[in-house]
Amino acid sequence: MGIFGRGKRLVASKPESADLATLLLQGEEMIGQLAQAHMSWGLGTADRWGLDQRTGIITWTFPDKIATAAAQIIGSYNPSAASWLWAWANESILPEMSRDSRAVRAWAETHGQTVLTQPKVETDDDMAATLSALAVRITRATGFYRGSGTASIPIISFGDVTLATNDGKTSTFKVAIE
């Protein structure tokens, strides 16, 4: 399923063809559209969620179903410390789980955007949202989730979502980026 219905797609220009301000605006729009699209299966309303780094799967549990997707950790935001830590710089994150984070760093190195190459960034809520939007845009993520946490809030991208209902039926929710 696309952003606004089956078969529709979100169109985003290549990151190489836009400046950072344009990418930010596109990333913010993408996050809004992804949130709207994924709300149709219940993103943001689950009873609980979890991420298994060994399998790379994020799981959302609902009373009537379970939703799962392959996931990547982009970074983590710690409001009390006013800091952002990219996943590639976080030793507690397995390398396989920081692939998208490393892609952002590689893009930033190629395009001279040093703020995106620093392992840890002093930040507030707005800057954390900015970094998230840029990462979503640069990686062309098809799903975005800001986890819950008291000390550190994980920022996660994810792919196609498999929905398994309690009666054994399964379906897949897809968002395509062109």
In the chain (178 residues long), the average pLDDT of successive 10-residue segments reads: 31 56 94 95 96 98 98 97 97 97 96 92 94 96 91 95 97 88
pLDDT, position 4: 27
Neighbouring residues of 117: CB distance < 8 A, sequence distance ≥ 6: 105, 108, 109
Residue 118's closest CA among 130, 101, 93? Answer: 101
Pairing mode of beta strands 153-165, 144-146: antiparallel
pLDDT, position 151: 87
Based on C-alpha coordinates, what's the Rg of the chain?
16
pLDDT, position 178: 65
pLDDT, position 177: 75
pLDDT, position 15: 53
pLDDT, position 7: 32
pLDDT, position 1: 29
Between CA 81 and CA 128 the distance in angstroms is 12
